[in-house]
Chains A and B, each alone.
Chain A
Amino acid sequence: MTSVVEKVIGKKFTFFSGKGGVGKSTCAAATALFISENDRKTLLVSTDPAHSLSDVFNKKIGRSIFSITEHLDALEIDPSFEAKKYVRRVKSDISGIISPVLISEIKKQIEIAYLTPGAEEAAIFDKFIEITQNKKLNYDNIVFDTAPTGHTLRLLSLPKILGVWIDSLIEKRRKIVQLKKSVDRIYGRKGKNNEDPLLSLLLKRRSRFELARKILLDKNRTCFIFVVTPEKLSIAETKMSVELLKKYKIEITGLIINRITPEVKNGSPFLEKRRKIELQNIEHLNALLKVNILAKIPLLDMDIQGIEQLRKLREYI
């Protein structure tokens, strides 16, 4: 077993992150494939709205689980589909709760939900929680291929941001319920003693956010791999991300350096120069970040598509 696979195979959840185009999808797919070849049922999930797993495997993977090999399945989260499903659920719940007159009023509000700036990321986040909680999906490993850095950092910070928001909603609602009870008591009304439905809904939501937070912070179950190319910008962005994630108490498990210019016999001076710069950058990276380098992958002489070509990465990953 090689370094990356060895490191992540014991963790239920593995995230691949990094700057755009550095090879996240390729590395995530290869890692998932190699894990699954160790007789572990593995699910590869893309949280990137601009999916590329279909390209990596040259197969039409979609929003439902697609079987790649006997032990490897894949899935591309479709945010607009998930958002529509959510809206549909709320719409059907509504009819049991409010009068038909108000329903037409509320329809307007519901359509707005599609358009709110955070709808896409919230939809992805919800689906992510569902995948981690769904008992019917019994995978040994789940590997997440994420969108370029900024997007992913947002996603990883959501449990905290949403947690703060929902905590204050819960606090306000509790206060309201309590005050309403006091008013009832003054008038000697026998207030409804059952749980406030709005409050229980909020509590349910909060516990989902809490589950996501627990998973992200649980070093025994979860690891984060950053893919980086030996270029200044990619390294700088990785440093920034590592520091930002530290703020959210998320620790990076290790790095994969991808697309390193290979040593070629009688190579051109151009390539030699390029190689030298890259080696300097890697040294700089070592000094800059105290993070394990788990793998170094050379730039191959072709694009990597399909299982056969992914296997070429086995010796590195």
Chain B
Amino acid sequence: MSENKMKKTILKIKENLSDFAEGFFKEQAAGILEKEIEDFNDMFMILCFGDLLGIPTPASYYTLELLPYFIGEIDRWESRINRRSKVFSERCARYDFCC
């Protein structure tokens, strides 16, 4: 292998490695943000559908017009909320101390 070729290969490996590291950290950062989005989404949903969960809200009437914008998310949210233990373990896992 010529010196030139060697240099090129090392460079290539370096590039791949940093791509990998970057991807790894990106994934992790995005994961944290996505969990946070989920939290805000939970609060949003509870404010909207509190009446269905037994918390009456004077505003249920107005959530109707919001429905079309998150109808796709409702199923996912509903089943997650229904599996409370899962919700709980999710939360614990996030802090790395149990479950």
Contact = CB atoms under 8 A, between A and B. Distances in A.
Interface of A: 83, 86-87, 89-90, 93-94, 97-98, 102, 105-106, 109-110, 112-113, 116-119, 121-123, 158, 161-162, 165-166, 168-169, 172-173, 175-176, 179-180, 182-183, 186-187, 197-198, 201-202, 205
Given A110-B64, A172-B43, A198 B59 contact: no
Contacts of A113: 60-61, 64
A106 B69 CA distance: 11
A106 B30 CA distance: 31
B51 A106 contact: no
Contacts of A106: 67-68, 71
A133 B41 CA distance: 33
Contact of A202 (B37, B64, B66): B66
B47 A168 contact: yes
Contacts of A201: 65-66, 69
B60 A118 contact: yes
A169 B65 contact: no
A83 B41 CA distance: 27
Contacts of B72: 98, 102
Contacts of A168: 43, 47
Nearest to A158: B58
A117 B58 CA distance: 8
8 contacts: A83-B61, A89-B65, A118-B59, A166-B59, A168-B43, A186-B26, A198-B66, A198-B70
Nearest to B64: A113
B62 interface: yes
Given A90-B64, A110-B64, A113-B64, A187 B26 contact: yes
Nearest to B26: A186
A165 B40 contact: no
B70 to A, nearest CB: 7
Most chain A beta-carbon neighbours within 10 Å: one of B52, B58, B62, B67: B62
Contacts of B51: 116-117
A144 B68 CA distance: 34
A113 B62 CA distance: 9
Given A98-B72, A176-B44, A186 B61 contact: no
B57 interface: yes
Overall SS of chain B's interface: helix
B1 to A, nearest CB: 34
B63 to A, nearest CB: 8
A90 B29 contact: no
B33 A179 contact: yes
A205 B40 contact: no
A98 B58 CA distance: 26
Interface string B27-56: 001100110110011011001100110001
A87 B69 contact: no
A89 B58 CA distance: 20
B40 A175 contact: yes
B64 A205 contact: no
Most chain B beta-carbon neighbours within 10 Å: one of A112, A119, A183, A201: A183
Nearest to B70: A198
State the 8 A-B residue pairs at the shortest beta-carbon distance, nearest first: A122-B61, A116-B60, A198-B69, A113-B64, A97-B68, A172-B44, A118-B58, A165-B59
Contact of A109 (B36, B37, B64): B64
Contacts of B43: 168, 172
A143 to B, nearest CB: 26
Contacts of A205: 62, 65
Given A98-B68, A106-B68, A116-B61, 15 more contacts: A90-B65, A94-B67, A113-B60, A118-B61, A122-B62, A123-B61, A172-B41, A172-B43, A172-B44, A175-B40, A179-B40, A182-B33, A187-B26, A187-B30, A205-B62
